Structure 1
């Protein structure tokens, strides 16, 4: 965290009530700020401060913080603190494993439903992932990885899977931004993405899933 903290209301920016339930808007706003590092790991948050910063009542803020706690972006110690969770190597590793599982399921559901145009779209996103990985751009890789997953999920045709994936997307985004994209592991991760592309272009779901769940001992990145 920075030594001199910018006031929360300035970091969050202006807030305008939209059509969604207020608690959902706060969840997206605060969760997005955490995912992007605007609210930093270890930083304390509370419903009173957030409500004052946004100019709203505390009730929807409490509801949003409860959801953020459930997905793992916020942790609570009763009567002590509510704060943003830390991002450790173990957390990143677990997120990679989770991402690989989600992407594999999404691909299995989506590929039979995808038109040739859809497939071209998926390959275009995957090409951006490969470029970000080969260039060692961790932030771009996190963005494009989520875009690839979202593309597949949208075409999965399964409303339950779509909702469950959306619920954890902010956590996955935040944690993937901390992926170290350098050295031998980065090269192998890039090689993995290229294998996924080859398999996806051939509509080979088995091979694509294999590379999305590549063994961890190869340090590929999308873990077993």
Structure 2
């Protein structure tokens, strides 16, 4: 049951907590991790009853999830979790390559040496996971890497947009359940990107990151 799963996840509500934010975080986590599957219907009434709260914060949370594309609403018919399609996965991979490349570009222009070394260490974890063919660890390491770059970008608007989109990106890529490209291709791109980062070449690092996602390929040597 969706409602009982959410009730267990949310637990006792903290005093002064913003209920809509708590509900949003709980439902979005359940969707991203697959505990609420695509196509499954959700009800503001039943969720509110299960959590012992009013329907208003639940509606606010579902509206945010609808705006993000994790939930879809047909008035007077249903409110349900969106299903991941092949087209959606392809669009997500393209989007991730472009936006993650921009995060790397911005961060490299503003990171100090300590932050750069921290970013490279995160990239090394991505390389190790990629070489091992560990899709779950590569996804986790990639999210940590891009999240770190986004924080280091120094651009609050960019960071806000990336944060909001990160939930949809994570759900779609987890649903895909596959690694992008071959291990050899990923390794080549990641290692070129690593070298460019250490050399202070922001443009080169960005382009290699994009190439790994299949965008910007004409700007780099084969």
TM range (shorter): 0.7 to 0.9
Q: For residue 220 of structure 2, what is the aligned residue in structure 1?
A: none
Compute the TM-score of the two structures, normalised by the length of structure 1.
Answer: 0.87
For 1:38-187, what aligned pairs fall within 5 Å after superposition?
A: 38-181=35-178, 185-187=182-184
Query: What is the root-mean-square deviation of aligned Cα atoms in Å?
Result: 2.2
**Contact 1:110/1:155, CA 8 A, preserved across alignment:** yes
- Runs of 4+ aligned structure 1 residues displaced above 4 Å come to none
Q: What is the alpha-carbon distance in structure 1 between the residues aligned to residue 126 and residue 12 of structure 2?
A: 32
1:35 pairs with one of 21, 32, 36: 32
Encode CA deviations 1:31-85: one digit per residue, 9 max, x unaligned. 1111111211111111112112222111011111111111111111111111111
Compute the TM-score of the two structures, normalised by the length of structure 2.
Answer: 0.87
**Contact 1:134/1:186, CA 8 A, preserved across alignment:** yes
Q: What is the alpha-carbon distance in structure 2 between the residues aligned to residue 66 and residue 20 of structure 1?
A: 19
Unaligned runs of 5+ in 1: 215-219
- Secondary structure at the counterpart of residue 80 of structure 2: strand
The number of residue pairs the alignment matches comes to 216
Q: What is the alpha-carbon distance in structure 1 between the residues aligned to residue 184 and residue 86 of structure 2?
A: 19
1:200 pairs with one of 194, 197, 202: 197
